[in-house]
Every structure is written in C-alpha cells, then in structure tokens.
Copies of this chain bind each other. A is one copy, B any other.
Amino acid sequence: MDIKIQQVETSKIESVDFSNLSFGQVFTDHMLVCSYTNGEWESPEIIPYGPMTFEPSARVFHYGQAVFEGMKAYKDDDGDIFLFRPDESIKRLNASSERLAMPALPEEIFHEGLKQLLHLDTEWIKKGFGNSLYLRPFVIATEPAISASPSNDYKFIIICSPAQSYYAGEVRVVVADKFSRAADGGVGYAKAAGNYASQFYPTSLAHKEGYQQIIWTDANTHEYMEEAGTMNIFFRIGDKLITAPTNDRILDGITRKSIIQLAKDNNIDIEVRNIKVSEIREAAEKGELKELFGSGTAAVVNPIKGFKHKDFTYELPELESTYASFFKEKLMNIQYNKSEDVHGWRVKV
C-alpha cells in the first residue's frame, strides 16, 4: 500500500521530558491522515503532527459523528515494536462506525498505517517496562453541512502520545444510582465520542465527594453493575472473579476479554454474568469482597480502593497477593515480549 510520507524537518523529541509525562498531552512528530470522500477512502498520508483546518460547519461539531480507539505500542529490550491485539481494535472501530452510520475503514489502511507511522516515530517508543506509545486512531465527520444526517466526508487520523506507566493515584468509585451512561438499544457499546462527554458532569459530582470515577449501573433499574468510564470492572468474591457480560450498553474491552482468557488459562474461577449491586454490598458486609479492579488499555489493571453506593461505603482490604497484580503482570509480560504468547495476541510491527 502506498502511503505518502512528509517528514518533519526537525524532530521535537529533544524538548520532551520522558520521565515526566502527563497522559495525552504531548504528541509525536507525525500523524496519519486518510480522507473519505465520494464513497471512497483515499490514500493515507503521514504528515507532521499539527493543527488542521476544518469548516465550522463540519458535521462532527454539530452531530457528534466521531469514533475512536485506544491502543499502545510497546518496545522490548531489542528495540522491536509490538502491538496488543490490533485486529480487535480495527474490528471494534468499524463496529463503532457502523452504529454511527459512518463508513468502515479498510483493515489494511489501519494496519499498514500504524506500521509505517510507528517505524517513523520509533524514537518516541521508549524501552522499559511500563513505557509505551499511546495510539489514538479516530474517525470524524468533516462535511460542511448542518442538516441532521450522516456526513458524506470523513477523516481517519492516528495521533500518538508517549506514556509512562500509568498510575492514577488511589481510585475510589461511586456506584451510579441516578445518572446513567447508556441506554438499551443505544450506543454504549461503541467507542463513540458522545459517550464520554456525557460522563464528565456526573463524574465531577463524584469528585466533589472524594471519588475519582463512577461504576455505571443499568439505566432501567440501577440494580446491576456495568462498567466504569474508561474501564470494564471485575469483582473478586472469595476466590471467584466476576465481571458483567457485554451487551449493547457496555464496551467490549480488549483488556477485559484478555483477562477472562487468562483467568481460564490459570484455573481462576471466573464468572461472566449479571452482577447485582446488592450482591456486592452483601459480599462487602460479610467481608467476602476481596478485590475490585478496572481493566483498560491505559492502566492495564487499575485496583479500586473503595466504593460508595447511596449511603453505603466500603474500603477494600489490603491483600498480600491480588488478582489485579497477577493479571497486570501477565498481560504486561505478553505486551513487552517477556513471556510466551500462547494466544497470538502480541503482534510485531
């Protein structure tokens, strides 16, 4: 595939302090841009990262046709570059696009675009366990027209941001009992831009009470645990691990499905089923709720220290050995080419 490359004259990498990165604030030298017009994807181009021009009437600004993915590139000690299950990301990107009446992107543009972009910006992928290059492929509607209908023009773009081992600080969560994230028959399963903006206000209310995130419950009854803002959620009761099944409200997380597989591989008792909030509260009261953690590309596995539901609050116990750190290590060992990869999840680019 033919990708035209326009390189930067001077890299800005020297100006970046890689030991002190805020997530998603610094971008690499290059980005990939591919336009869709007249029913076709044109040839992608790699150009210097920088501002782009859009009409103020571009549909993305008005009707929210925008979907994205979140991935990471990892480097091993030999300097080889790896992605984790990129086939799942392009499938999910296209599933998100379909739900928003946006055109599917040919898988080849995705894979080949990532490859060439990563090789060009390879210096930005630092070696060392925990360092990575966060990749943000996204598609937005660019047609300058404000009638409420799908766009005829789109852009697929990949931007890249160097990331360090992600530590979000101590995370405590509120279990939603009023606001909700997604409706049955809605777009909750898609990585659609609008799903995120709608969480910011309820999350800001949680912040005021000293909680960092929200575990969303089903919008109908608020009786069932679903997922967090950018993470799927796992509960450990005794030695059993439980996570909610995916449905049209819940994002089918790649980290989640990998953890489910790893649990099976390692004879950890895992149940994928509906989880009542009341069940978790009872397990907490009986001292049987041992762990609560989120899973997602950014943090891999994020232990949750405590939760609040209505007037009930609970602090998770401090354990010597946790499922959270077990899975985090297993996953990172695969991602950084430090262990065997029996499922073929690691892809060298």
Contact = CB atoms under 8 A, between A and B. Distances in A.
A246 interface: no
Nearest to A23: B147
A195 B193 contact: no
A180 interface: yes
Contacts of A149: 200
B204 A101 contact: yes
Contacts of A181: 183, 186
A101 B185 contact: no
Contacts of A62: 66, 68, 136, 138, 193, 196
B61 A64 contact: no
Contacts of A136: 57, 62, 146
A1 interface: no
A115 to B, nearest CB: 20
Taken together, the copies of this chain in the complex come to 2
Interface residues on A, range: 35 or more
A33 to B, nearest CB: 8
Contacts of A195: 64, 194
A145 B66 contact: no
A185 B176 CA distance: 10
A133 interface: no
Nearest to A199: B148
Nearest to A176: B185
Given A57-B27, A100-B198, A184 B219 contact: yes
A63 interface: yes
Given A53-B51, A57-B27, A219-B184, A197 B201 contact: no
A135 to B, nearest CB: 11
B24 A197 contact: no
Interface of A: 22-25, 27, 31, 49-57, 60-66, 68, 98-101, 134, 136, 138, 140-141, 144-150, 157, 159, 161, 176, 178-187, 192-201, 203-204, 219-220, 222, 229-230
10 contacts: A24-B146, A24-B147, A25-B144, A52-B53, A61-B140, A64-B194, A64-B197, A179-B185, A179-B186, A187-B198
